[in-house]
Copies of this chain bind each other. A is one copy, B any other.
Amino acid sequence: MSGEQELGITESKEHSPGEWYAEVVQKAGLADYAPMGGFIVTRPRGYAIWERIQNNLDGWFKNTGVQNAYFPLFIPESYLEKEKDVVEGFDPEVAWVTHGGHDELEERLAVRPTSESIIAPFMAQWTRSHRDLPMRLNQWCSVVRWEATETKPFFRTKEFLWQEGHTAHADEDGAWEETMTRLDQYARLYEEVMAMPPLKGRKPPHDKFPGAHTTTTIETLMPDGKTVQAATSHYLGTSFGEAFDITYADADEEENTAHTTSWGLSWRAMGALIMTHSDDQGLVLPPALAPDQVVVVPIWQEDNKDEVIDYAADLAAELDEDGVRVELDDREHRNPGFKYNEHELHGVPLRVEIGPHEVEDGEATLVHRPDGETETVDRDGIADTVTDHLDTVHAKLYADAEETLEGEIREAESREEILGTIGQHGGYVKCGWCGDEDCEEPIKDAIAAEIVMVPLDRDEEPIHDDCAICGEDAEETAYFAKSY
């Protein structure tokens, strides 16, 4: 690193969001491109964010009866084929292992694109009695899908990190409750940890996970007006239970088919996070996910160096003892301006500036990363004050994103209005919909916007009486949007 030129973000979030995103990811040290197209290297600052997402979710999962397990990386072709029989339209583009050492394999092995087809047969084996249910398994792993698209770190990569939960239940009620529990936990992650307002909904029937009875989704809106499918939770009905013989003896010794669910969240969540909060100075992170929550920067002259640094070090130590993730930046070879820029680039939520004035007055100056708001506060009680300010930073990020979202859900009553509104503003357009996939086509063809969700509640009345496209009776409300 040889200077500010190299350090700073040069692209504009507003005018070239794609280039800006790529620059933030690389210059903030989150990820680099791997030599093979479609793959990335997740650097420590990026991986630390993923670990915090994991820790939050994993704790909630475990508190609600989920157990982690680990299934093989490879799935025999015949197992994938079996899934094909079950679920129409399942034809994953996968990476195939054909050779082990110097020998060709008798049967090709797929690098897992998702693990239903290897997990379900084992669930069948482990599920004998109603006492074995509910069975709730989860694994944190990487999956590979050989899609030929341009690489966009965390959004579009051939290999990505995720968790996949797979559960079996005695009946529909249990399985539906499970589906909702996980959807709610994903929503909680977005709200409480990532400072992003989630929309909860169902995917339209033609866009369900193959074989699912119902696919529920968390959608989050990006600043460029596109939506991101930010997590999904599927109620699979008995389709997998029947196909893979996941049956159990009930209390009367009668054999029944289990109802299953699956649910997943990938590192795409990180992509949505970066895209939502960051700006032309670089990364912006909510305090819950920031590797460093606070940086303390002492600003000294030769004649007051020792006392300024001691004061700053003492303050940092107090924050550290209180459980705040804090860094003291007392590097000699960098000036304060350089340090400010660097920590802004890295997304440290709160900066504490300590100069001779702060030392003299027993104070500290706090600067919020998202908006530069500055406040000078008492040194006494600094840990509580800093914690309050971190909460404020989270609240600001959330409020900003919520305000954006609220202005970006519009209504339309005709095909032209849908096209015009999304064309001009982006965001979501809701309208009456007859339920026919054909009515999505003209919108998709014209502006590549789709029905990204319908309301979670099946009984909710459609907002308009008629389908905005064909004019037939509306069955539900469709949310059209462009999608990542």
Contacts and interface: CB of A to CB of B under 8 A. Distances in A.
Interface in A237-260: none
Interface in A125-166: 125-126, 128-129, 137, 141-142, 144, 146, 148, 158-159, 161
B73 A144 contact: yes
Interface residues on A, range: 35 or more
Contact of A97 (B34, B43, B111): B111
A471 B223 CA distance: 78
A312 interface: no
A95 interface: yes
Copies in the assembly, this chain = 2
A260 B148 CA distance: 36
Given A36-B76, A97-B95, A41 B111 contact: no
A1 B73 contact: no
Contacts of A76: 35-36
B96 A98 contact: yes
Contacts of A72: 34, 36, 39-41, 159
Interface of A: 1, 32, 34-36, 39-44, 47-48, 50-51, 67-74, 76, 79, 93-102, 108-109, 111, 118, 121-122, 125-126, 128-129, 137, 141-142, 144, 146, 148, 158-159, 161
Given A36-B109, A48-B67, 17 more contacts: A1-B129, A35-B76, A35-B121, A41-B72, A42-B69, A43-B69, A70-B142, A73-B73, A73-B111, A73-B144, A93-B101, A94-B100, A95-B97, A95-B109, A96-B97, A97-B98, A111-B111
